[in-house]
Amino acid sequence: MSKLSEKDIRTIRIGAICAVAIAVFAFGIKWLENWSSVRKSLSQTRSRLSEVAVDESKLASLMSIVPIFEVPQIEEKQKFLFRDKINEQLKKARIESEPLQIQNVRKARQTPGYKVLPIKFKAKCRFEQLLDFLTSLKENPYLAGVDELKIQCDTKQTPEKRQDVTVEMTVSTLVK
Amino acid sequence: MSSSSAYTKPEQFVVAVTRDEDMLKAVELRKDDQSLEVLWVKSTEANGDWSAFAAECGVLSGTSRGKKPDRNKIVTVGFGSAGVAFYHIEAPAVDREDAAAIVKMQVENLLPLPADQIEVVWRTRPSVNGKAGITLAAAKKELLQKFVESVRCIEPRTILLNCEAVVKAWRAFFGGDEKTAVVVSLGARNSQVCLAEDGQLSSAVVLDVGMEDFPEGPDEPGDYEEGLSPEQAEAADRFCKDMGSVLESFGLTDAKDLPIVVLSGGSSDIERVVAYLKSAGMNAASASPELGSITSQDGLNAEDLYEYRVPLGLAAMAIDDSTEGLKLFESLYVAAGEEKKKGGLYSRRVAGAIAAVMLVALLLTAYLVDAATYKRLSALESQPRFKEAGQRYELMKIAAQQRPDLMELLSDINSSEIKGITLDSLWFRKGQLVTITGQAQSTEQTYEFQKYLLGKSGIKEVNLEHPAKADKDRKVKFTMKFHYKQYTKKNTGL
């Protein structure tokens, strides 16, 4: 068997380098694409997680407005839970209201996947009782928002006797 | 490219130089796949100088002489064994690391000088019945260092022991194949006696009896008994006694049949020495070079090969990768080429390769970390409790935006200290302006009340509508409309 010449060795070297370069190019590009995709997904996941992982001050601020909250149930369950809680809070404030009227559900604009269920009621009470009720309202775990509040005094009474007010209020909850 | 082309091992060239008593002797061997060839042999007159001889042989680096060494040649130098002591210990058949520990423990008891003044190397022999013999070679460091300094100018690749070269030469060129034998290499004024076991040197002794101590005797070796002069008889007797002592030191007192091989170039003087040994009851025989074992263009005969047996043995050791020599100089001398090889780690090419590997490793690590983090976070995110918590938090944020603080609004409106203002109604509805109606003592009071409301945070754009005096009680009835935070803007509801 004859020896390999310098030219043969050089050709083999160049061939080997080209083969390695082709392999690196072929697999390297795919690998980089895959890595890029992983990094993008990771960034999105981190962003989603950072929304949940809020700092203490933000959470405290949120809890002062919404101290208690239950994830909405299906309509049939949620509407009774909400109505009963409102009723309980009215009674606690010693407000005797007319029967609570459950309104028709409507599509929620800000919460995809949920619908809005309003409850309307009308009552006559003293102004202090109304204040008691409004104070306790944020303790309602089903309350999503206050849509309307109308307070009307009897204008025929003297200002000193105007503590009796007529209240009309619409509050909403979210249902699945 | 031809399909029959194949890579063949390149030729190897070895130059071996050694001092044989007063003379320096050198040979160059060429080895290829098929043959071993002696290219040349050289020797100096008595007390030759290493560097001058090396220059003559064409192996001197000698920058001072303006010559570059031939890097394709392996240069090896032989060290005379006179200052080297051999010891034997037995140890359980363990791996090299454990054997090293055993040697370290035992060597201090064996050596005549403190361990830091002695250089020790060792080699294990094949184990028998769970026991392995260990051959130790020891020499004074100072002696070895002096030798290194004397041969450094040649820049040899290795420095080997002459006694090992004797055994190698016997095996390679004198047809030696006995498992155990005592090999005798007679010099002019001294003799090298080597114990060879399993083809390797096991022990060696230098006797200060040489051919010069044997005055010329009868022409026929068989006539030695009749024709011995008193001097010859005395030298023969002393040599035989010395050999007996050597065999005793080798632990071979009872081995009467042990072959004692006296290397020979075919001269009758050596045959006479063999005859002396035989007469002393030893199983001695001479061994001459096998001319077929090596080729030479100069037509070297057996006498020449015998003359250069030690450098030939050194060259054969250097060429034979399988020979595990006793590297007594390993820690004292590093060949220039080897230094450069180690230094090669810092070369640009190696540094570049290391940097490239590190870069790939870095990228791979970064990728794996990203992939692992994504997998972990995705798993966390997909957990039902986590999803629910996220959903709940989002809903709480929306609820917070949809819950106006009506207590604050009522408090702001009612806390006015303007006397005479009486409120009749309040109407808040998302997406519409907050409307309040009331009565005031005068129009100015309504203006004042309007200003008061505008000063409250969250209340904006307070419009006063229909201020008109009632006929009955002369009071001014008013209606005010204003924006309250974000709740009165359109499309703010759920």
Long-range contacts of A161-166 (CB under 8 A, 24+ apart): A162/B422, A163/A126, A163/A127, A163/A128, A164/A124, A164/A125, A164/A126, A164/A127, A165/A124, A165/A125, A165/A126, A165/A127, A165/A130, A166/A122, A166/A123, A166/A124
User: Would you state the pLDDT for residue B1?
Assistant: 38
The string of pLDDT tens digits covering residues B210-267 is: 888 876 655 554 444 555 677 777 878 888 888 888 888 888 877 778 899 999 988 8
Residue A41 Cα, gap to closest chain B Cα (Å): 7
Chain A residue with minimal CA distance to B393? A52
Highest mean pLDDT among B11-15, B281-285, B468-472, B482-486: B482-486
**Residue of A1, A11, A49 lying closest to B4 (CB–CB):** A1
Question: In which element (H, E) is residue B163 found?
Answer: helix B162-173
* B95 vs A18, more confident: A18
Shortest alpha-carbon distance between residue A126 and chain B (Å): 14
Superfamily in which the B404-484 domain is placed by CATH: General secretion pathway protein M, EpsM (3.30.1360.100)
pLDDT given at position B5: 42
Pairwise CA distance, residues B332 & B139, whole Å: 12
CB-CB under 8 Å, B406 with A145: no
Instruction: Number of A to B CB contacts under 8 A, please give it.
Output: 143
Level-2 CATH architecture, domain B175-288: 2-Layer Sandwich (3.30)
Question: Which chain B residue shows the shortest CA-CA distance from A107?
Answer: B494
Phi, psi of B129 (to 5 degrees): 55, 45
* Domain spans of chain A, in order of start: 6-53, 70-175
Mutate to test the interface with B, among A148, A166, A169 (most CBs of B within 10 A): A148
What average pLDDT does the segment B94-110 reach?
77
Q: Closest to B396 (Cβ–Cβ): which among A69, A110, A159? A: A69
Q: What is the structure's pLDDT at B64?
A: 40
* Of residues B6, B378, B391, nearest to A45 (C-beta): B378
Domain-wise residue ranges, chain B: 175-288, 404-484
Q: Show Cβ contacts of residue B191 under 8 Å, excluding neighbours closer than 6 positions.
A: B184, B185, B206, B207, B209, B210, B239
What per-residue confidence (pLDDT) applies to B295?
84
Are the beta carbons of A144 and B402 separated by less than 8 Å?
yes
Mean pLDDT of chain B: 82
Q: What pLDDT is recorded for position B70? A: 58
Q: Quick one: tokens of B347?
A: 């070369």
Reading chain A (176 residues) residue by residue, the pLDDT tens digits are: 556 788 888 999 999 999 999 998 888 888 889 999 999 999 998 887 777 676 778 888 888 899 999 989 999 999 999 999 999 999 999 999 999 999 999 988 878 889 999 999 999 999 889 999 999 999 999 999 999 999 998 877 776 677 889 999 999 999 98
% chain B with pLDDT above 90: 19
Cβ-contact A67, A139 below 8 angstroms: yes
For the whole model, what pTM was predicted? 0.52
CATH topology of domain A70-175: Alpha-Beta Plaits (3.30.70)
Confidence check: pLDDT of B324 > 70: yes
Measured between CA atoms, the residue of chain B closest to residue A7 is B1
Tell me, rounded to whole angstroms, the distance of Cα B237 from its chain centroid.
Answer: 54
| B373, B404, B425 ranked by CB distance to A153: nearest | B425
